[in-house]
Structure 1
């Protein structure tokens, strides 16, 4: 099989925490073994010096940690090679006996050498094979434990890294989607505003010129937000005021706009250009042959941990049978709903309903302390 992909970060294979963890576990095993050997020495009247017992356990710990490092290194090698599970199991089954035998052999020779140096224990050489068979179960269990902990550690780490990469990819996709939705608003907004300018050209050229200047300022601000998904409500209302001024210049006294803003929520972050489509929709659908004047009210308040934004008008409204399809009929409302869904998942509310006369568009989004 192939080696670990080059793009995988080197720190993904850092074994320091793993080795420390296994080392602590093995040291604890040797500590419990020390108490067992000491108890057996007392109960069987073996009269072995305490120094010998302690020294043997220290030697066993050092030699054991050396071989555990070897086992972990081999296991990591298999992981890098991306071997299939069956092949890894067979490889460990073939290696467990020779590695644990070498483990026992090295421990026995080192312990014997210390006996010869300190001359505080019997310098006899036990039968190597039978001595190994006597300790094979313990050595094999430690070998398997080291392998199991190693694979568990790295598979969990791999899973966490994959989740992190997936989260990053989802974030990039989300950002791309938000930019796409924002980019859809710009030409739609510009097209409708230019229509307003065009309508005014036949009535009052000077007002149309002033409107074009205001439109340039407005577009400059919109372009400043091209890479910003969220702005403060204060900035959103400031931009909306410029749009309202343009529309009031077009409709003159026929359009009036009232503001009811709770000052305690002006620092809350909201999606940029959230309110403009709602106001534009109210103007576009509010005027009719039966409603030659239009009053719009823009409100912002705090309710149950949410920022609630309302755009209401006293215009013609819509037919009840059109309610189900209202989000599919225009770019503004449809785009707004998709942006809210993308940014807040299910933690938002966006309703449009008749009030007879007029319509209310209401958005509720969570107030988050850190954004």
Structure 2
């Protein structure tokens, strides 16, 4: 249900209303007893000061209770609201007894101070101020619920944008034209290699289209895709860029195109030749895929950083894990978290 363009959880609202009705039932009963059995002087300033102080304490009790519960309970369920409500009530009674004793027992120097009676009186005040407990708790709870909803919507939008950018990057015309140029060269010089090239080319684009919007793929599928991608690079650059893969256990999952992005960056930003090829090492250490290569930077490249940003944000948004990029004077390393299961 939406009111003023805001999503409202009916169940949560009903729970708050029930708690308010329950608390106010006790409040009405207490006020009735006060009316029948007590004589209250409306012009007694001390009573007004006491009510103000206790109202302030009730508000502070809810805020403190919210902060305490929020550190312990990271969920956003209605049970969390109930916990805050109960804790703030108990905290108010504890602090209220102390304030009551200070006001009556010390400041007013009351000689007939009875702790049991004053404790019951403080409990009565707590019921009278139940609106503050319930409404303040509800306000804090619903504000966090709304914030969490907005953050979730923003996260989903960011994921969609990142995936769209990544798909556009993988399907960019530059990559297509380069491979068509390679294909044209094979037609003239090595026609026997055309069939294998087309198979690899089809596998790469099929992988882009079929897995580009998936959250995770199996590591073994990503490694198989990387082989097809490197076959295309070999047709284009010869043995200039090579991969040494020491990963034996391929259990686990990874974000699609993660390895290809890292390899692509290594090829794009480093010089190499047939005599001095660039070796890109793949290994598995402590549940992270490690991609490492020596640095031999080209003189000038235009890099948008889209690939690295995509990896970092996707792992943070989806799994709260970090992709680690490390660069030294002669080596560049990327460590990608391996997700054990989905």
Counterpart position of 1:184: 168
Q: How much does 1:194 deviate?
A: 3.3
Listed as ranges, the gaps of 5+ residues in structure 1 are: 27-62, 69-99, 109-128
Please say if 1:238 is aligned against 2:238: no
Counterpart position of 2:190: 204
How many angstroms apart in 2 are the aligned matches of 1:198 and 1:352? 38
Counterpart position of 2:101: none
* Residues 2-151 of structure 1: pairs in structure 2 closer than 5 A: 4-5=3-4, 7-11=6-10, 14-16=13-15, 19-20=18-19, 23=22, 64-65=25-26, 67=28, 104=32, 131=37, 133-134=39-40, 141=125, 144-151=128-135
The structure-2 alpha-carbon separation of the partners of 1:340 and 1:251, relative to structure 1 and needing over 3 Å to count, comes to closer
Q: Which has the larger radius of gyration?
A: 1
Q: Report how many residues are paired.
A: 257
Normalised to the residue count of structure 2, the TM-score between the two structures is 0.60
Please say if 1:298 is aligned against 2:281: yes
Matched residue SS, 2:325: strand
Matched residue SS, 1:275: helix
Match of 2:206 among 220, 223, 227: 220
Counterpart position of 1:348: 323
Counterpart position of 2:154: 170
The structure-2 alpha-carbon separation of the partners of 1:193 and 1:300, relative to structure 1 and needing over 3 Å to count, comes to farther
The answer to whether the Cα contact below 8 Å between 1:178 and 1:229 also exists between their aligned partners in 2 is no
Match of 2:245 among 259, 264, 273: 259
Counterpart position of 1:329: 302
The answer to whether the Cα contact below 8 Å between 1:287 and 1:293 also exists between their aligned partners in 2 is no
The structure-2 alpha-carbon separation of the partners of 1:144 and 1:195, relative to structure 1 and needing over 3 Å to count, comes to farther
Please say if 1:339 is aligned against 2:310: yes
Q: How much does 1:16 deviate?
A: 3.1
The structure-2 alpha-carbon separation of the partners of 1:234 and 1:209, relative to structure 1 and needing over 3 Å to count, comes to closer
Q: How much does 1:251 deviate?
A: 4.7
Q: How much does 1:246 deviate?
A: 2.5
The answer to whether the Cα contact below 8 Å between 2:283 and 2:289 also exists between their aligned partners in 1 is yes
Counterpart position of 1:317: 296
How many angstroms apart in 1 are the aligned matches of 2:234 and 2:271? 13
Q: How much does 1:161 deviate?
A: 1.3
How many angstroms apart in 1 are the aligned matches of 2:303 and 2:181? 16
The answer to whether the Cα contact below 8 Å between 2:207 and 2:225 also exists between their aligned partners in 1 is yes
Normalised to the residue count of structure 1, the TM-score between the two structures is 0.56
The answer to whether the Cα contact below 8 Å between 1:214 and 1:246 also exists between their aligned partners in 2 is yes
Listed as ranges, the gaps of 5+ residues in structure 2 are: 48-120
The answer to whether the Cα contact below 8 Å between 1:286 and 1:294 also exists between their aligned partners in 2 is no
Counterpart position of 2:260: 276
The answer to whether the Cα contact below 8 Å between 1:22 and 1:146 also exists between their aligned partners in 2 is no
